Structure 1
Amino acid sequence: MLVELTALHWIYVIFIALIIGFMVMRRDTTIVCIAGIFLIAITATGSLAHAVSSIFTSFIYAITELLSTILVISIIVGMSRTLTTTGINDVMISPFRKLIRNPGLAYWTIGILMMAISWFFWPSPAVALLGAVLLPAAIRAGLPALGAAMAMNLFGHGIALSGDFVIQAAPKLTADAAGLPINEVIQASVPLVFIMGIVTTTVAYYFLRKDMKRGRLSAGPSSETVSEENSDTLPPLLSINQKRFFAILVPLLFVADVAAMIVLDLTGGDATALVGGTSILILLLISLANYKSKGLEKTTHFLIEGFQFGFKVFGPVIPIAAFFYLGDAGFTKIVGDFLPQASQGIVNDLGLALASIVPLSKTIGAVTLTAVGAITGLDGSGFSGISLAGSVASLFAVAIGKGAATLTALGQIAAIWVGGGTLVPWALIPAAAICNVDPFELARRNLLPVIIGLIVTTIAAIFLI
């Protein structure tokens, strides 16, 4: 049953437009997001006190949802500081200098490795694994940190996650909603995933090289160059042989993580936790080996640096995440049970409303599924709305008479590329934080390539239906 759109839905749409507009103009969106949360809450409840409280509650909810990501990024940064400070990092990346000789090789090497690892373990642990090893080598080869973040983001959270060929969480959700066998959706998604991926990554690289030639972008510091203000860093004490030992040990421990993920079937949050725990152990070992009697204090020092960096990076993201979480299951936990009875969440209601007002043909069907997927991806999950995309695809396919699997795959790709981590700022935080770049700038960089990719992929889907 289609729920009637209410004032809540229209306020949400208006503030989405305002937030996007402010981002395009490179202005801060914090006040806009807080105003949106307040207006939605007071419209839903009619209580000024409840609306004011909802602002704080929304921040708590956003922090809770993002906490695991904040922690793993903070720990990875703390570990990276120990590698850099002790000189282990220089020894560790030396073999990659021969492979990554220029910015182009750096971009495509990082991207392809990110895609391959993400297919098996999802992007978040893949970002942590690659960031600790390849990022410094890429920057020394002349690739800007923003370019490395784009490669990790587009290949991992874009290509790998939107296809999800190995873990198959995404195609299962869409296939079940569309009433199709999962293998049909996967087969239909293969050409679309690679068309989207090739177009988007190639366009992104073209714009990146263009700005590098014009001097707008240059190789800069990675997250490993966290500020050392007020730092009483002691000179490194490790011998060259000890540095070589740790330079071999660190990658071996991460390879052991990968093996454990395969053997124990660890994915998603469990895989990320394994990488985070390994990073803590590496930090402890190196601090104790390098600083001897001062190792206990230096361990805490590096952890504090990591947490300072993590919360500094996530600070601007929490208000905007808090607003967009209102579009999905977060509404009832932040504001309360004030949505219309038939509502499936503000974002899903908007997607269903769009699907119900368009005429039916394979062209309109493909365009609508892309739009529905993109709209449902705005909550920053990517996965929350793909069941809706599968349901809408099934309805359209019945009316058109064919193309259920292709439409389902198209909606899945659009939802995950937008919400899974290439356009929504808090979803692409892992890559941005590891590379020490502004997540909003990364989102702006991704915007045009992803839009071009979605247009080309939608056109391709029309011919495949």
Structure 2
Amino acid sequence: MGVELTALHWIYVLVIFVIIGFMIMRRDTTLVCIVGIFLIAITATGSISTSVSSIFTSFIYAITELLPTILVISIIVAMSKTLTSTGINDVMISPFAKFIRTPALAYWTIGILMMVISWFFWPSPAVALLGAVLLPVALRVGLPALGVAMAMNLFGHGIALSGDFIIQAAPKLTADAAGLPVSEVIQASIPLVAVMGVVTTIAAFFFLKRDMRSGKLTVETDTKIQEQASQDEKENLLSTNQKRFFALFVPLLFLLDVAAMFALDLSGGDATALVGGTAIFILLMITLVSHKNKGLEKTTAFLVEGFQFGFKVFVPVIPIAAFFYLGDAGFYTIIGEFLPSSSEGIVNDLGIALASIVPLSKEIGAITLVTVGAITGLDGSGFSGISLAGSIANLFAHSIGAGAATLTALGQIAAIWVGGGTLVPWALIPAAAICNVDPFELARRNLLPVTIGLVVTTIVAMFLI
């Protein structure tokens, strides 16, 4: 095929296997990625000083690529803080409480609301916005706290985060690693996200109802939950009419954003910038109106909280993203022109070489991507490994000859459903804490429905490749 594989290619593959091994053992991969960057740099340049510098340069490159995503998430979290502190979130959600009259309605209403709110605010802030208000309502109509946590988990950290259609943080990471446009990955992910979401949530609801009927799962008359809900009084910063105004105004602005995305054909960075700018506008307006003379200082305080959250989430992602950017165009920016002149990038070269010796089928490709995605999710981030999923999807697509976007989306979905907050216990803590349930029990409850969903979604993906 005319592809020259060098030591750089084999080191890249070796480091990928080591990363997967560390993830299986639930160990951190930061050190492995840094060592991998150094080994590739010193093999390419033969210079220790240049190789050491390349580690720092790769971090700069990764941060530069991820910065819009980190910024928009930080700003949205900051905005959610001001919505919570003023009680506007209570007013936004309270009309839906009237529809919750049975356990089934509680499960589906809380789940769908969580999904919609998570598309705009991200799941972790959405849990705080939604859980404190609707948990007591769900308990009153007979849905156990574990059922509430499952609904928030599966619809928020599962469906909303794995698709991430509005903020587009996840598809940007996977699309960059796969060398594809963000819009292409999002389009390919829509049917897969839909299948995964429908199958998993219905299966979870079926098992939940079965255990409630058999008496294995009962509604806890949890006084601690009730006390926490009653004590969670919001500061009296806005009048009732002001809260009602902002409760309508905030979702209206985001709906206008969505309309603008369709009308102006905005995606990727442009869509992210629109959402981020709107969130800043909302943050400033509500904070200045509610805190009046202290508004300037409170705006900064909310932004600080938001940025602390954003960087805390993405710091583990930066080293692994830095390594995987070496597999594509990032190599030339970080290290320089040290690949053979015939090279199309490390990952593309490996894909072409693999295609010439191993006739991979779309079935094997789909199963492998789900497996890799699930393994990368074991670290509990959901995000730190999706660059690997995108990179391997690109490699397999070259071998199969089609399906790059579908394979990328499939790996992204598997990684985020496992690690983003539905199966890994230490990633379940926000929902478990707000519902006062054991995160390990919540993970155990989610295991079978999510596994069923992944199997069905993988089969569907085989037909779409």
The TM-score with structure 1 as length reference comes to 0.67
Q: Residue 105 of structure 1 corresponds to which residue in structure 2?
A: 108
Q: Residue 354 of structure 1 corresponds to which residue in structure 2?
A: 354
- Alpha carbons of 1:105 and 1:24: their partners in 2 closer, same or farther (altered >3 Å)? farther
Query: Which of 366, 370, 387 does residue 380 from structure 1 map onto?
Result: 387
- In 2, distance between residues paired with 1:64 and 1:387? 22
Q: What is the CA deviation profile of residues 43-73 of structure 1, one whole-angstrom value per residue up to 9, with x for unaligned ones?
A: 2221111111111011111111110011111
- In 2, distance between residues paired with 1:51 and 1:288? 49
Q: How many residues align?
A: 394
Q: Residue 136 of structure 1 corresponds to which residue in structure 2?
A: 129
1:367 and 2:364 correspond: yes
Query: Which of 395, 403, 408 does residue 415 from structure 1 map onto?
Result: 408
Code of the residue aligned with 1:87 in structure 2: it is: G
Per-residue deviation, 1:11: 2.2
**Counterpart secondary structure, 2:342:** coil
Q: What is the identity percentage for the equivalent residue pairs of Structure 1 and Structure 2? A: 55
Q: Residue 326 of structure 2 corresponds to which residue in structure 1?
A: 326
- In 1, distance between residues paired with 2:333 and 2:273? 26
Contact persistence 2:88–2:243 (CA under 8 A): yes
Code of the residue aligned with 2:405 in structure 1: it is: Q
Code of the residue aligned with 1:415 in structure 2: it is: T
**Counterpart secondary structure, 2:340:** coil
Q: What is the CA deviation profile of residues 418-439 of structure 1, one whole-angstrom value per residue up to 9, with x for unaligned ones?
A: 14x65279x979xx99x9689x
The TM-score with structure 2 as length reference comes to 0.67
Task: After TM superposition, list the pairs within 5 Å mapping 1:397-412 onto structure 2.
Answer: 408-409=402-403, 411-412=404-405
Contact persistence 2:58–2:323 (CA under 8 A): yes
- In 2, distance between residues paired with 1:424 and 1:43? 34
- In 2, distance between residues paired with 1:391 and 1:379? 19
Q: Residue 53 of structure 1 corresponds to which residue in structure 2?
A: 53
Which consecutive unaligned segments of at least 5 residues does structure 1 have? 115-124, 165-169, 177-181, 222-233, 395-407
- In 2, distance between residues paired with 1:273 and 1:126? 15
- Alpha carbons of 1:256 and 1:414: their partners in 2 closer, same or farther (altered >3 Å)? same
Q: What is the CA deviation profile of residues 384-423 of structure 1, one whole-angstrom value per residue up to 9, with x for unaligned ones?
A: 77777665444xxxxxxxxxxxxx34x532222214x652
Task: After TM superposition, list the pairs within 5 Å mapping 1:245-256 onto structure 2.
Answer: 245-256=245-256
Q: Residue 400 of structure 1 corresponds to which residue in structure 2?
A: none
**Counterpart secondary structure, 1:94:** helix
1:307 and 2:310 correspond: no
Q: Residue 119 of structure 1 corresponds to which residue in structure 2?
A: none
Per-residue deviation, 1:272: 1.8
Code of the residue aligned with 1:414 in structure 2: it is: L
- Alpha carbons of 1:391 and 1:315: their partners in 2 closer, same or farther (altered >3 Å)? closer
Contact persistence 2:80–2:121 (CA under 8 A): no
- Alpha carbons of 1:160 and 1:357: their partners in 2 closer, same or farther (altered >3 Å)? farther
- In 2, distance between residues paired with 1:5 and 1:207? 51
Q: Residue 271 of structure 1 corresponds to which residue in structure 2?
A: 271
336-345 vs 83-92, which deviates more?
A: 336-345
- Alpha carbons of 1:39 and 1:369: their partners in 2 closer, same or farther (altered >3 Å)? same
- In 2, distance between residues paired with 1:205 and 1:49? 57
53-62 vs 323-332, which deviates more?
A: 323-332
